[in-house]
């Protein structure tokens, strides 16, 4: 296994480039994207096992059957994290590994994997940050109706109780959901994610039940875990910008902000669904039936920290002749919109910006603005950047190295944005690079590499990219090097 490169000597950074004391440096992964071992030790299929086996859904027919084989290689992976100096590891739990089919008793062999992973992390001095749900609903629960059905929130609360019982003594930070927007609107709206349904009303119903499941799980975690444990949820908040200063484009931005962001932050952080969201979507769902007595109180149980994922801003307009907008919002191609009630909004790529291999424009100011917007709208709310990073077309050189200066530039710019937001009053507690290592990038399969560590899928060999060594140096300094990459 490659050692951390000695040619990046740690230097003392001047005060101006430092982060707050206690700022957490981490990296993230998700169960289906890295674990593999899809049919081992009692695990049953999740919606992603089914979806990835459905012809045409995932590029090259890739599946998560083996992925980065983290299930078997977790000890080596933790050792690598330790060598890189990571202070925290954000991972998710595969529901159908610990509670096959999503109902009934837990399976000890499944729980043991996470116990062993967490013990290994603690032993290495790395703080475990556990996410209960990163998109992999047990298939049997989808067969029973999935997230559009209210009962799925009850099942999730049971599952949260199992996990709190199994890991509550050793995990100090718990996240209920990762990016519930994707589960609801890519899973049930545009259908580019599992379970691949294209039903706008079901997508909205799913969003409410994901919110409800979040609130129920927070209640369970709070009831079972010590007071010092931190609870959270991670949202992929869209940094929405209107294309022009016109009133029509401002309305397009308002709509996407409503169904992209405030559909979650409204009930979770304010205890209400935004009125404009209800107005935009009332032809699709009857909100007065969907939201039952007590739901909003449950959903708005306080969290200790809000996880924010950011990759690229979202530039929108109302379609006008010649405006050049497309249906491509960066979330994958589909004839069906993931924006129920606002299907007419057009999406744009900013001119003159560099792009990643996902064709997402690179804009660190979007992260700064996002952190400042959340701080303005929810003063005093502690934030954590739980995902940020970029895919590029990485390859191993004949010398066996992976040079990825574009990723270093991306990370440098975004960490600088975090630092500026902190200086301007945002309470950002940490940063998790997406991703620790290359992995199964959902509908793109293994064609997109987001890792700081390169994975040779044929041999499962890990090769830390230049960006991993750069990040290790940032962690050591607790700050950015003075100059950006050449």
CA distance 382 to 478: 19
In the complex, least distance from residue 407 CB atom to ligand IFM, rounded to whole angstroms: 13
In the complex, least distance from residue 7 CB atom to ligand IFM, rounded to whole angstroms: 30
Is 309 a binding residue for ligand IFM by CB under 6 A? The answer is: yes
Of these, 91, 177, 410, 434, which contacts ligand IFM (CB under 6 A)?
434
Query: Binding string to ligand IFM for residues 445 to 464, with x set by CB under 6 A, is what?
Result: -----x--------------
- Comparing CB distances to ligand IFM, the nearer of 116 and 353 is 353
In the complex, least distance from residue 465 CB atom to ligand IFM, rounded to whole angstroms: 16
Q: How many residues bind ligand IFM (CB under 6 A)?
A: 8
The angle, 0 to 180 degrees and rounded to 10, between the axes of the packed helices 108-123 and 151-167 is 50
**452 Cβ contact list (under 8 Å, min separation 6):** 27, 84, 389, 407, 433, 435, 436, 437, 464, 465, 467, 468, 471
- Comparing CB distances to ligand IFM, the nearer of 24 and 237 is 237
Contact 235, 185 (CB under 8 A): no
- Comparing CB distances to ligand IFM, the nearer of 59 and 478 is 59
- Comparing CB distances to ligand IFM, the nearer of 242 and 389 is 389
Is 318 a binding residue for ligand IFM by CB under 6 A? The answer is: no
Contact 330, 338 (CB under 8 A): no
Count of CB atoms within 10 A of residue 40's CB?
Answer: 14
Of these, 257, 280, 387, 438, which contacts ligand IFM (CB under 6 A)?
387
In the complex, least distance from residue 3 CB atom to ligand IFM, rounded to whole angstroms: 27
Of these, 179, 249, 295, 394, which contacts ligand IFM (CB under 6 A)?
179
The single residue of 179, 321, 351, 354 carrying the catalytic annotation is: 179
Contact 452, 465 (CB under 8 A): yes
**163 Cβ contact list (under 8 Å, min separation 6):** 93, 98, 114, 130, 132
- Comparing CB distances to ligand IFM, the nearer of 273 and 432 is 432
In the complex, least distance from residue 236 CB atom to ligand IFM, rounded to whole angstroms: 6
Is 62 a binding residue for ligand IFM by CB under 6 A? The answer is: no
Active site residue 387: yes
The residue at minimum Cβ distance from ligand IFM is 30
Query: Max Cα separation, the chain?
Result: 63
In the complex, least distance from residue 486 CB atom to ligand IFM, rounded to whole angstroms: 27
- Comparing CB distances to ligand IFM, the nearer of 243 and 390 is 390
Strand boundaries in 356-441, DSSP class E: 383-388, 428-434
Is 441 a binding residue for ligand IFM by CB under 6 A? The answer is: yes
CA distance 446 to 463: 16
- Comparing CB distances to ligand IFM, the nearer of 236 and 317 is 236
Count of CB atoms within 10 A of residue 344's CB?
Answer: 12
- Comparing CB distances to ligand IFM, the nearer of 67 and 298 is 67
Is 390 a binding residue for ligand IFM by CB under 6 A? The answer is: no
DSSP labels, 233-272:
EEE----EEESSSSHHHHHHHHHHHIIIIIHHHIIIIISS
The single residue of 142, 387, 406, 441 carrying the catalytic annotation is: 387
CA distance 60 to 407: 25
Beta bridge partners of 422: none
Contact 443, 52 (CB under 8 A): no
Active site residue 15: no
Query: Binding string to ligand IFM for residues 139 to 178, with x set by CB under 6 A, is what?
Result: ----------------------------------------
**229 Cβ contact list (under 8 Å, min separation 6):** 168, 171, 172, 173, 174, 221
In the complex, least distance from residue 437 CB atom to ligand IFM, rounded to whole angstroms: 12
In the complex, least distance from residue 66 CB atom to ligand IFM, rounded to whole angstroms: 17
Q: What phi and psi, each to the nearest 5 degrees, are found at residue 159?
A: -65, -40
Query: Binding string to ligand IFM for residues 30 to 49, with x set by CB under 6 A, is what?
Result: x--x----------------
Burial class of residue 373 (count of CB atoms within 10 Å of its CB; 0-12, 13-18, 19+): middle
Contact 278, 205 (CB under 8 A): no
CA distance 263 to 383: 19
Instruction: Name the helix (H) or strand (E) containing 455.
Output: strand 453-456
- Comparing CB distances to ligand IFM, the nearer of 164 and 306 is 306
In the complex, least distance from residue 296 CB atom to ligand IFM, rounded to whole angstroms: 27
- What is the contact surface with ligand IFM in residues (CB under 6 A)? 30, 33, 179, 309, 387, 434, 441, 450
Catalytic positions, please? 179, 387
């Amino acid at each position: 296994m490659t050692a951390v490169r000695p040619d990046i000597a740690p230097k003392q950074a001047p005060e101006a480039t430092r982060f707050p004391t206690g700022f957490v440096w981490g990296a993230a992964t998700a169960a289906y994207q890295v674990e593999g071992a899809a049919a081992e030790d009692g695990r049953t299929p999740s919606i992603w096992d089914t979806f990835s086996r459905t012809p045409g859904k995932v590029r090259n027919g890739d599946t998560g059957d083996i992925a980065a084989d983290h299930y078997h290689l977790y000890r080596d992976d933790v050792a690598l994290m330790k060598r890189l100096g990571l202070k925290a590891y954000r991972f998710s739990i595969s529901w159908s590994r610990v509670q096959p089919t999503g109902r009934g008793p837990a399976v000890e062999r499944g729980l043991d994997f996470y116990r062993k992973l967490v013990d290994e992390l603690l032993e290495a001095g790395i703080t475990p940050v556990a996410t209960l749900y990163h998109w992999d609903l047990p298939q049997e629960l989808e067969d029973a109706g999935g997230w559009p059905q209210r009962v799925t929130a009850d099942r999730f609360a049971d599952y949260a109780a199992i996990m709190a019982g199994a890991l509550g003594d050793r995990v100090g930070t718990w996240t209920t959901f990762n990016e519930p927007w994707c589960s609801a609107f890519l899973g049930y709206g545009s259908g580019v994610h599992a379970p691949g349904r294209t039903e706008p009303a079901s997508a909205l119903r799913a969003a409410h039940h994901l919110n409800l499941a979040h609130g129920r799980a927070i209640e369970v975690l709070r009831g079972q875990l010590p007071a010092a444990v931190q609870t959270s949820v991670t949202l992929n908040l869209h940094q929405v910008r209107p294309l022009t200063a016109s009133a029509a484009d401002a309305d397009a931005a308002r709509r996407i902000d409503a169904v992209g962001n405030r559909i979650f932050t409204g009930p979770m952080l304010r205890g209400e669904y935004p009125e404009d969201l209800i107005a935009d979507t009332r032809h699709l769902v009857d909100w007065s039936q969907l939201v039952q007595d007590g739901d909003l109180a449950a959903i708005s149980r306080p969290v200790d920290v809000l996880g924010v994922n950011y990759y690229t801003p979202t530039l929108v307009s109302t379609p006008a002749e010649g405006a050049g907008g497309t249906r491509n919002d960066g979330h994958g191609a589909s004839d069906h919109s993931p924006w129920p009630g606002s299907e007419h909004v057009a999406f744009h790529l900013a001119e003159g910006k560099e792009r990643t291999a996902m064709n997402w424009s690179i804009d660190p100011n979007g992260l700064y603005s996002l952190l400042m917007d959340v701080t303005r709208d929810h003063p005093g709310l502690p934030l954590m950047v739980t995902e940020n990073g970029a895919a590029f077309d990485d390859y191993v050189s004949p010398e066996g190295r992976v040079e990825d200066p574009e990723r270093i530039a991306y990370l440098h710019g975004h960490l600088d944005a975090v630092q500026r937001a902190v200086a301007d009053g945002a309470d950002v507690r940490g940063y998790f690079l997406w991703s620790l290592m290359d992995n199964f990038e959902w509908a793109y399969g293994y064609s997109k590499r987001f890792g700081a560590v390169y994975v040779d899928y044929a041999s499962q060999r890990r090769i830390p990219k230049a960006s991993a060594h750069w990040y290790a140096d940032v962690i050591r300094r607790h700050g950015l090097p003075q100059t950006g990459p050449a």
